[in-house]
Amino acid sequence: MAMIEIKDVCKWYGDKQVLVDCTTRVTKGEVVVVCGPSGSGKSTLIKTVNGLEPFQKGEILVDGISVGDKKANLAKLRSRVGMVFQNFELFPHMSVTQNLVMAQTKVLGRSEDSALDKGLKLLDRVGLIEHKDKYPAQLSGGQQQRVAIARALSMEPIAMLFDEPTSALDPEMINEVLDVMVELAKEGMTMMVVTHEMGFAKKVADRVIFMEKGGSILEDCTKDDFFGSPRKQRTQDFLSKILHN
Amino acid sequence: MGDFDFSIIIKSLPVLWGGLLLSLQLFAIALVGGIFFGTLLALARLSSFKMLSYPAAGFVNLIRSVPFIMAIFWFYFLTPELVRWLTGRQGEAVGPFTSAIVAFIMVESAYFSEIIRAGIQSVPRGQPWAAYALGLNYWQAMGYVVLPQAFRNMIPIMLTQAIILFQDTSLVYVVGLKDFLGAASKAGQLTGRIVELYIFVAIVFLVICFGASRLVKLIQVRMDPTRQRAIKQDPALNGPGITPGGA
């Protein structure tokens, strides 16, 4: 069953088309990695899934609900889809605990106690319980991103979107974040991940989508096909560049 | 200095005190009203709905391009008319104090909206995104995430604007209100000792405004980002396991 269904999505910034007839799907429990050169619209595509970026043509269904529909309750839909950003985007004026609790109480209407309970459990899971009273600026990038993942999970999402979650990190912090993501994938979370971390893709991805400059999907295949025998020359070039680094 | 008689100030103190209270009252109402409506104006101006952003921009630009004193006159004459038009009753009940408050809130909300707009724009775009992604609606995202950060960034400049506002309260003297300056003028005219009283008014303004501006300086130093970075990178404050530059 398709959790996220993207059908012929097109998007323009003014005259410039940034997404060209993008079609793909993420089924329940599947991990899909989206990669491609910069300017290929990967981040834009993933942001259309929870309606952060509007699109002009096509349709996106998340758990059967149309994102582009003007009548759709976007806030409700977003509360059910977790998102992790490149720059973490923790709220800097709130402590780690407040970051974890706020949306649970304000959006889901949970009591302060149960939200705190839930938040701290997840914080413990990402290994940061001793930092619960700190402010984001007092944490390293990797720690901030783990808190951000815990914050997204606290809403008990049906799927998680990751928009280049390790791109802003120093190399030595990348693995601590990837480890959390791998664990999440193994637990069966439905995930759509924009990343250049091919090691992550090889380890847990079910499918890999390769996007090409100009905003179109060039390749959409299983992990084994993608790494074993990419059908397009362009994909091979990209892979040889990125895997040699 | 021999001709000066400063004892007149002691004698006029009750009147002057009353005037100062009126000034402070006007200041407080204009400040709260200005920030409240200024925030709404700023949000309207930043809205993607042209129905909201165009009128808001028009209002702000209009108010900002007329002299403050003219706005005070306008509302002095306009407010009673407006009341009559809205309620059908004579607007005589609207005194100069009410019309001055309307004028001050209007003008200050335009000034503050520009400050707040800049403050909102200083918050990175990812912050509202993250708020929306968690399911917060527009007002929640603004109220819990964007505005607290915007106001924090804007505190020094808002305090500076507040000091200017306090000085501007003396303008209500033109519609016959006995604010601090108005009270001093009245007392001065009655006693023929206007110079002494004006000197006193100047000193009080100086003390209040200079004190407030020192406070602003102090807050600015405390909020200095370089100082915050120093705190962040000081291992003693952080405990172990912190890598600098990770933010």
pTM over 0.80? The answer is: yes
Preferred mutation among A139, A149, A192 to probe B, highest tally of B CBs within 10 A: A139
Distance from CA of B125 to the nearest CA of A (A): 9
The answer on pLDDT for B92 being more than 80 is: no
Preferred mutation among B49, B122, B132, B134 to probe A, highest tally of A CBs within 10 A: B134
Do the bridges between strand A81-84 and strand A159-163 make them parallel or antiparallel, or are there none, so unpaired?
parallel
Q: What is the pLDDT of residue A169?
A: 92
Calpha distance B136→B119 (Å, rounded): 21
Contact A46, A161 (CB under 8 A): yes
Average of per-residue pLDDT across A58-83: 92
B136 lies within 8 A of chain A by CB? yes
> In the structure, what pLDDT confidence band is assigned to residue B83 with cuts at 50, 70 and 90?
confident
CB contact under 8 A, A75 and B136: yes
Counting every residue written for chain A, the total comes to: 245
Residues whose CB falls within 8 Å of the CB of residue A99, separated by 6 or more in sequence, listed in order: A90, A91, A136, A147, A151
Residue A193's nearest CA partner among A2, A22, A32, A5 is: A32
> In the structure, what pLDDT confidence band is assigned to residue B226 with cuts at 50, 70 and 90?
low
The percent of residues above 70 in pLDDT, for chain A, comes to 99
> In the structure, what pLDDT confidence band is assigned to residue B29 with cuts at 50, 70 and 90?
very high
Contact A99, A90 (CB under 8 A): yes
Strand, coil or helix: A5: strand
Contact A169, A142 (CB under 8 A): yes
Contact A200, A193 (CB under 8 A): yes
The answer on pLDDT for B245 being more than 60 is: no
> In the structure, what pLDDT confidence band is assigned to residue B93 with cuts at 50, 70 and 90?
low
Kindly provide the ipTM of the predicted complex, given to two decimals. 0.93
In chain A, residues with a C-beta closer than 8 Å to the C-beta of B227 are: none
For the segment B148-204, what is each residue's pLDDT rounded down to a tens digit?
999 988 988 999 999 999 999 999 888 888 899 988 888 888 888 888 889 999 999
Strand, coil or helix: A82: strand
Average of per-residue pLDDT across A180-198: 94
Do the bridges between strand A191-194 and strand A159-163 make them parallel or antiparallel, or are there none, so unpaired?
parallel
B132 vs B13, which has greater pLDDT? B132
CB contact under 8 A, A89 and B238: no
Residue A45's nearest CA partner among A169, A194, A151 is: A194
- Which residue of chain A comes nearest to B148, CA vs CA? A93
Q: What is the pLDDT of residue A244?
A: 64
> What count of other Cβ atoms lies within 10 Å of the Cβ of residue B86?
9
B230 lies within 8 A of chain A by CB? no
Contact B146, B131 (CB under 8 A): yes
In chain B, residues with a C-beta closer than 8 Å to the C-beta of A142 are: 246
Do the bridges between strand A31-35 and strand A207-212 make them parallel or antiparallel, or are there none, so unpaired?
parallel
Contact B47, B55 (CB under 8 A): no
Scanning A65-124 for CB atoms below 8 A from B yields: 74-76, 78-83, 85, 87, 89-93, 102-103, 106-108
Residue A216's nearest CA partner among A53, A49, A23 is: A23
The answer on pLDDT for B240 being more than 70 is: no
DSSP B84: H
In chain A, residues with a C-beta closer than 8 Å to the C-beta of B232 are: 137-138
Contact B133, A157 (CB under 8 A): no
